[in-house]
Amino acid sequence: MGEVKRENLAEALLARHSAPRSGAGWALSARRAARDRVLALGAAGRRDEYWRYTNPAALNGAEAPDVEVLQLDETPVFDGVEKLLITFVDGVYRPDLSDDLQGENLEIMTLEEALEVDIHWASDLFGVFEARGQNPVPRPFAALNTAMAGQGVVIRANGKVTKPVALRYCRENRQSDVLLHHVIRVESGAELTVLENGAGGARLNTVMEVDVADGGSFHHLRAQGRDHTRLAITHIFARLGAEARFKSFTLTVNGQLTRNEVVLDIDGDDTKASVAGACLGDGDFLHDDTIFVTHDARDCESRQVFKKVLKNGATGVFQGKILVKADAQKTDGYQISQGLLLDDDSNFLAKPELEIYADDVACSHGSTCGAVDENSLFYLMSRGVPRKQAQNMMILAFLDEAIAEIENEELAEDIRTRLSGWAERHSA
């Protein structure tokens, strides 16, 4: 009985978007395959092991919620850095609000264009990484995205790209239900930084497929929009070659529901990867990081660093896994997830997993949850720092291990400023 319902729900998911009709052969077949995956996987349900802490109902719902468009008078995140700006408004590429799609060592075009090209490198990635990432944990919203998304960017870095590519997601429509799909390839020895910023839609579903070739380096920094009741489900699927570098950091402030999934496959030796996030939630807020890192090569290092500050009934979820395959000797895997509960109504739910089949490894994970340490608070106050300010200092100190994962100090400082802004605004 339950299964039938699930399939119906999967069909309903597909029915709520209209898929682009045209495209090159490979694009059409990738979409068709994704459509079949959605139906085969069924919709996400509360009884699924990886949805036990997050109710997918609002993401499964037929319509996006009506979300007030937040008007901010402060400058957007990353505004200060020199960048190549690409703007999407309610999920639609806006050339008028974007820079020219060109840059040194950079090939860049919209997804719409790329999917029309008969022979395109993106055909090796589009829907391919997502499909691979469905096992062993099903991710139906990602398959839905591949099947239905018509907008996004396709980026290829052929060398060192000095200016970050900044994707800005604006919204004007109160009920926009947005799908964005990006395909990124960092060639051997190339370097690329991608920034993402903004809520993008009342309900946003993004997929980013990233291939980092041997010796390539990819940095990703994201600030998800502050619109209070927005929903977001995001996926990053990345494959890392030998001696590659991968860093992704996400800042989440507000939003009713956010689920960020990252699926990393470390394929080549001597690679280093880091996935980190800081989130701040006040009130009706659920924030879920679901991370799956697979080590399938020697001498690699991966880090997962997630910190969540929660108050007024906010819920933080962390599900992280390090899988070390038998041949991935000398793996160094580190994972930390911590919840800081500012009051008695908030929840922190964590499932940090290790699955290890190689013996010469050093893997560790730690997870803690609790209130601001009273001793430290007293120490600060005894030196004359008022309670509110002392607590804010403790919040920032708590988050700092995650911020420290950001490669670029200037961007990290920008994030710190946002965080202390939140702490100020929300300290009662």
**Residues of this chain that bind other proteins (CB under 8 A):** 49, 326, 329, 339, 341-371, 374-376, 378-387, 389-390, 393-394, 396-401
The span from the CA of 80 to the CA of 384, in Å, is 34
Residue number with CB closer to other proteins (63 or 353)? 353
For residue 323, the minimal CB distance to other proteins (Å) is 9
Pairing of the two strands 84-89 and 92-93 = antiparallel
CB nearer other proteins, residue 66 or residue 327: 327
Distance of closest approach, residue 212 Cβ to other proteins, in angstroms: 26
Per residue in 373-400, is it b (16+ CB within 10 Å) or e — as a string? eeeebeebeeeeeeeeebbbbbbbebbe
- Closest to other proteins by CB, 107 vs 401, is 401
| Nearer of residues 198 and 352 to other proteins, judged by Cβ | 352
List beta partners, residue 374: none
Nearer to other proteins, 270 or 400 (CB): 400
Q: In whole angstroms, give the CA distance from residue 346 to residue 282.
A: 9
- Shortest distance in whole angstroms from residue 66 CB to other proteins: 30
Question: What minimum distance in Å lies between the beta carbon of 274 and other proteins?
Answer: 18
> How far apart are CB 49 and other proteins at their closest, in Å?
7
Q: How far is the CB of 235 from other proteins (least distance, A)?
A: 23
| Ramachandran region, residue 299 (left: φ > 0; alpha: ψ -120 to 50; beta: rest) | left
Between 55 and 389, CB nearer to other proteins: 389
Kindly tell me which of 71 and 135 has the beta carbon lying closer to other proteins: 135
Q: What's the min distance (Å) between Cβ of 191 and other proteins? A: 29
Name which of 75, 86, 107, 235 is nearest 167 in CA terms: 86
